[in-house]
Structure 1
Amino acid sequence: MTETGIHYLDARGPEGMRLYAIGDVHGRLDLLAAMHRRIESELEYEPSTDWRVIHLGDYSDRGPDSKGVIDFLIEARKRDPRNIMLAGNHDVGFLDFLAKPDPDGLFMRYGGIQTAQSYGVTLTAGSGWFGTADTVLRDGHAALLEAVPRSHVDFLRSLPFSVTFGDFFFCHAGVRPDVPLTQQSPQDLIWIREAFHDHPGLFDKIVVHGHTPVPEAEIMANRVNVDTLAWQSGMLSALVVAGADKRILTATAKAG
């Protein structure tokens, strides 16, 4: 990082390219689909020479339709590779659980049960009538392995940890201050919080991230946080960049 980094007010996107960076989805297919409809409408009525829709990770867990979200994203990327998906800690946690079921891991503790339900699998770490806790979890894990399509596993494994356009660096959680953006560790890119949030200086680029929920999109001199706790709040947020113009776009759940 340099002392002469860039300030949000001065940051620009690539010439002729509109950027949309969407925060944590967490199983809210309704909000993700609504956000894409808003973006498609904008691109239709206010065309841009080029565009990218960047999803900042955490597609699974907590919300009701992780399977539907992943299906949606796979199709979106297949339809147009300008739809970009980055890895979040929950996406990596999903893969970790599929590889080795841990009753105390991220997946089981923070919304993986809802993810399994979206695939038609009941998952519990507790003991039941038919065996010990380990047996119950092992049986649930085996059922989930069978239920998750290979295409979903391949998708999750394919996710990059960051991408850069213009004066903006996109990742899930943030960056380690004083480490060059090109040398950030995957662990920091999907997990970091305090050391990044508390850093007062400017970075070489504006870091656009999610991971840490805020009531509304948070715009700072050196970063933008678009995780507005969509799975619970019913509001999914995105940063829109067109040249020097920057704004926040939201999609909300329909009443009733």
Structure 2
Amino acid sequence: MSQGARLEILRPFQVTCGGRRVAISTGAQRLLAFLALRREGTHRRSAAEQLWPDCTSCRAAANLRSALCQGRKLGSAPAIDLAGHSLVLASSLSVDFHDACDAAHRLVSGDGTFCDGDQLVADLSQVLLPGWDDEWLLLERERWDQLRLYALEALEALAQSFQTEGRHLSALQASLAAASIDPFRETPHRIAVEVHLAEGNVACAVKRYQDYQRLLRRELKVAPSPRLTRLVRDLTRT
């Protein structure tokens, strides 16, 4: 596959080579996505059975051969490596999902810093293969959702740590990133309000609270917690 080849599965499925989108068959799309979610590779029979569960074993194997043939023709180098009866995505094909998972794991483990926050937030806000209803995707989506949750909690902890250390800008960036991932969670909004108050930005603190309050009323018909409300209660009295 040519340099710059990339597979995207956190947004509508897409393969690009040299910045240009590559059109491939539905079967090849499903095979590439299936292998992208199994970085260690998988047995051909297992791939055929899971990708075409309603077909006979012979038909599923034939479908796999067709998808494999089409999926390996994306460029000068194959997108799928063959090792006996095993299939694995070629290392020359970068995958947005892999990048997002690696970044999220670094954040959760504390090995990385919040240096590429915009990209991480954008990735963590995405649904895995939107619009696909394949049964083999259910467990993978659950795993992705769990990782997103852990990453969100790590962002909140990072924001709180920055706030405690007096690193207000970093705390605000991390809290806003967490709020972007899950706008209904109160913790990042509370931290953002606390940061604004610590910096003396009363108007910003009140606005952040009121925006969150309106969101909860409009979407969930509930109010912010007493803890958050107490932070701005005296500021909003007229």
Q: Higher relative CO (CA 8 A, sep ≥ 6), structure 1 or 2?
A: 1
Shared fold (TM-score greater than 0.5)? Answer: no
Greater helix share, structure number: 2
- TM-score per shorter chain, which class? under 0.3
Q: Higher strand share goes to which structure? A: 1
TM-score (norm 1): 0.26
Tell which structure's C-alpha radius of gyration is larger: 2
Q: TM-score, normalised by structure 2?
A: 0.28
